[in-house]
Amino acid sequence: MKKNQLTALLLTAAMSLSLLAGCGNSADTSTPPAGTASGTEGSAAAADDGTIKEFTAFFAVPGTEINDDNEIQAEIAKITGAKVKETWLTGQTAQEAVGTMIAGGEYPDFIDGSDGQIQLYEAGALVALDDYLDKYPNIKNFYSDAEWDKVRQDDGKIYWIPQFGNVWEKDMSAVHGDEAFWIQTRVLKWADYPEIKTMDQYFDLIERYNEANPTMEDGTANIPYTILCDDWRYFCLENAPQFLDGHPNDGSVIVDTETMKIVDYNTTPTAKRYFQKLNEEFQKGIVDPESFTQTYDEYIAKLSTGRVLGMIDQWWNFAYSVNDSLKQQGLDKQGCDYVPLPITISEDIKNMWHTSDGALNVANGLGITTSCKDVEGALQFINDLLSPEVLTLRNWGMEGADYNVDENGLFYKTEEMRVNASDPAYKASHLCTYSYFPNYSGMSQDGINAATPSEQPQEFLDGLQADVRECLEAYGCSTYVEMIGTNTSPGPWYPMYSYSNTMTTSTPGGTAWTKMGEIKHEYLPKVVMASDFESAWEEYLKVYSDCKPEDFLSEMQTELDRRIQLAKDNGE
């Protein structure tokens, strides 16, 4: 899928909910990241003279700005001697926003261009970081040398820092932050918590529940199943076949681990069965007729009403706004929270969706632009954000206000603290996660606590809504991850989307990749809505083949072979 870096954006941003999982391999933990004397020396001097440096940042993804007088941001500024005004994507695509900046030649100090990252690189808008890294040990130690090498561009230099899913010590994930078939707890409870393992079983349950319970408690009609198709987020429609066949999220292709060959998930027998099933459900009125026209904001608003029984999505794409809204409205008491089910095309296929050791997404990250007048100050700020004291402020908040500490040094929250952390006004005025700057998941560097509240085992359990707790207990689970199972990463190539997301029309494969996306976005909704599925499917395959997907698959195979050989050369 495109945009996997958002995973971690929202995973690190939401301290009140769920988890940090996402896009990054475990860091090389043989040497602890410097966060003490050498790591913060420069910032301490800056803070002592009473001045606070101010930087700007733009992230080409949707986000929420915090208040200028945010309390934790002020505390972080006292330690680091700097603060950042963050702005987010509104009303444009990432490539449009980045293109406008490039045309004007003016940039913020920090940037993550999302889909437009390669445009920034090709425009010469980013500062090469190689000559600086040794001066900033927290940044340098954020990845191993082998991992940094994977971030290098065609000219051999490093221009950005992948921010997310960098696991310290061990994975503590309690929530599956990636893609899944989600369903509301009320549906499962109504059916006495059945074992649901296949696509057919999943839709059969939704159909039966909706027939018996067509409305919510207030009489509002349920929406049995909806699909998000807006812009790049149409992965909620198009990439399910790879997951139904049990594969982890390589995003743009399947890697056959027996033959080490690239497979096109768009044309597998499972792909046809999946889209035929959606077509059948659409004809029955189970699939939301607004699926193919609704915007992302409309989709989130729809989920936030509690009306939608199920959908395919990435957790980070919906949970952090939707779950807070459901809680604020008391809809969790009606069983409107979502849990993942281990859905595959048939019961003999084991899903491998959740990978416990992350995935390094080198396609984009946090860069410093050529407009920045103080590159060293900007890097010092990043370095200081990775110090233990600041990491605690970003991820847990302020002791006494956002968490307490027991006699063993273990952090915990009260219910009032959890409610505060889900309140938009409180988050804007008080919490400052600097969510699109580098961060760790896993363990805290104190060796006692998890890096984030959502990964703290007892805090995760204490913070669960009653309907989710009951559901997990019914299935003999204590976390969302246990609901679907966990696996190690399949190999050193993983994930392949970190390559396809960098492709441009400068190569035949990149041209094919662009055309394939355009065709799928146009034709797959038609396939789902068609009165004659077979004819619509054949038409789709014809126009799809005209994109020359073989050019794309060939370049992906070359990259797969390169990554495997590189890992061998590095002794991985």
pLDDT digits (tens, 9 = 90+) for 140-177: 999 988 889 889 998 999 999 999 878 888 888 888 88
Burial 417-444 (b: 16+ CB within 10 A, else e): bbebbbbeeebeebbbbbbbbbbbbbbb
Domain-embedded: residue 220: yes
Question: What digits encode the pLDDT tens for the residues 95-145?
Answer: 899 999 999 999 999 999 998 898 999 999 999 999 999 999 999 999 988
Domain-embedded: residue 223: yes
Question: Which pLDDT belongs to residue 504?
Answer: 85
Pairing of strands 308-314, 179-184: antiparallel
369 DSSP β-pair partners: 126
Question: What digits encode the pLDDT tens for the residues 292-333?
Answer: 999 999 999 999 999 999 999 999 889 988 988 898 899 999
Q: For residue 354, what pLDDT band results from cuts at 50, 70 and 90?
A: confident
* Residue 195 in this model has a pLDDT that exceeds 80: yes
Question: Which pLDDT belongs to residue 261?
Answer: 96
User: What spatial distance separates the first Cα and last Cα of the chain, rounded to whole Å?
Assistant: 26
Which two three-digit tokens encode residue 451? 């890096």
Helix, strand, coil share of the chain (percent; to 5): 45, 10, 40
* Residue 9 in this model has a pLDDT that exceeds 50: no
* Residue 7 in this model has a pLDDT that exceeds 50: no
327 plus 377 within the same structural domain: no
96 plus 142 within the same structural domain: yes
Question: Which pLDDT belongs to residue 49?
Answer: 62
**What is d(CA 420, CA 411) in angstroms, rounded to the nearest whole number?**
17
Instruction: Provide mean pLDDT across the span 449-476.
Output: 91
* Residue 536 in this model has a pLDDT that exceeds 80: yes
What one-letter code names the amino acid at 499? Y
Question: What digits encode the pLDDT tens for the residues 367-376?
Answer: 999 999 999 9
Domain-embedded: residue 14: no
Q: Please report, for residues 24, 60, 151, 312, 484, the alpha-carbon distance to residue 162 in angstroms, rounded to integers and kept in the order given.
A: 8, 15, 8, 26, 27
304 plus 184 within the same structural domain: yes
Task: Specify whether the CB–CB gap between 243 and 351 falls below 8 A.
Answer: yes
Which two three-digit tokens encode residue 94? 């990432």
Domain-embedded: residue 102: yes
Instruction: Provide mean pLDDT across the span 231-240.
Output: 90
Domain-embedded: residue 453: no
- Phi, psi angles (nearest 5°) of residue 268: -75, 160
Question: Which pLDDT belongs to residue 420?
Answer: 92
561 plus 513 within the same structural domain: yes
Task: Specify whether the CB–CB gap between 16 and 430 falls below 8 A.
Answer: no
Instruction: Provide mean pLDDT across the span 334-354.
Output: 92
Question: Which pLDDT belongs to residue 48?
Answer: 53
Question: Which pLDDT belongs to residue 36?
Answer: 32
* Residue 434 in this model has a pLDDT that exceeds 60: yes
**What is d(CA 114, CA 251) in angstroms, rounded to the nearest whole number?**
16
**What is d(CA 276, CA 289) in angstroms, rounded to the nearest whole number?**
16
Question: Which pLDDT belongs to residue 103?
Answer: 95
344 plus 479 within the same structural domain: yes
Question: Which pLDDT belongs to residue 13?
Answer: 38
Count: domains in the chain: 2
Domain-embedded: residue 26: no
141 plus 238 within the same structural domain: no
DSSP state of 287: B
Question: What digits encode the pLDDT tens for the residues 173-188?
Answer: 888 888 999 999 999 9
Instruction: Provide mean pLDDT across the span 239-248.
Output: 94
Domain with 67, as residue range(s), is: 53-163+365-399+413-444
426 plus 487 within the same structural domain: no
337 plus 229 within the same structural domain: yes
Q: Mean pLDDT of all residues in the chain?
A: 88
What one-letter code names the amino acid at 227? I
**Listed residue (430, 406, 433) closest to 417, CA to CA:** 430
Task: Specify whether the CB–CB gap between 137 and 28 falls below 8 A.
Answer: no
Provide the total of helices (H) and of strands (E) in the chain, helices listed first: 25, 14
Of 96-100, 498-502, 512-516, give the lowest mean pLDDT range. 498-502
Instruction: Provide mean pLDDT across the span 390-418.
Output: 95
Question: Which pLDDT belongs to residue 24?
Answer: 31
Burial of residue 568 (number of CB atoms within 10 Å: 0-12, 13-18, 19+) = exposed
What one-letter code names the amino acid at 192? D
Question: Which pLDDT belongs to residue 31?
Answer: 31
Domain-embedded: residue 202: yes
SS3 397: coil
Domain-embedded: residue 19: no
Task: Specify whether the CB–CB gap between 334 and 186 falls below 8 A.
Answer: yes
Instruction: Choose from 49-53, 55-59, 325-329 the range with maximum mean pLDDT.
Output: 55-59
**What is d(CA 501, CA 557) in angstroms, rounded to the nearest whole number?**
15
CATH code for the domain in which residue 427 is found: 3.40.190.10
DSSP state of 27: P
554 plus 483 within the same structural domain: yes
Task: Specify whether the CB–CB gap between 23 and 8 falls below 8 A.
Answer: yes
The CA dihedral of 14, 17, 19, 20, to the nearest 10 degrees, is 10
146 plus 104 within the same structural domain: yes
- Phi, psi angles (nearest 5°) of residue 214: -70, -15
Percent of the chain at pLDDT > 90 equals 68
* Residue 3 in this model has a pLDDT that exceeds 50: no
Instruction: Provide mean pLDDT across the span 49-74.
Output: 92
Task: Specify whether the CB–CB gap between 444 and 35 falls below 8 A.
Answer: no
**Listed residue (15, 3, 7) closest to 398, CA to CA:** 15
Question: What digits encode the pLDDT tens for the residues 11-33?
Answer: 333 333 332 223 333 333 333 33
182 DSSP β-pair partners: 311, 340
133 plus 184 within the same structural domain: no
**What is d(CA 342, CA 477) in angstroms, rounded to the nearest whole number?**
13
Question: Which pLDDT belongs to residue 92?
Answer: 86
Which two three-digit tokens encode residue 471? 């559901």
205 plus 69 within the same structural domain: no
SS3 166: strand
Question: Which pLDDT belongs to residue 112?
Answer: 96
Cβ neighbours around 79 below 10 Å, total: 18
Task: Specify whether the CB–CB gap between 300 and 308 falls below 8 A.
Answer: no
**Listed residue (461, 501, 466, 491) closest to 565, CA to CA:** 491
Question: Which pLDDT belongs to residue 454?
Answer: 87
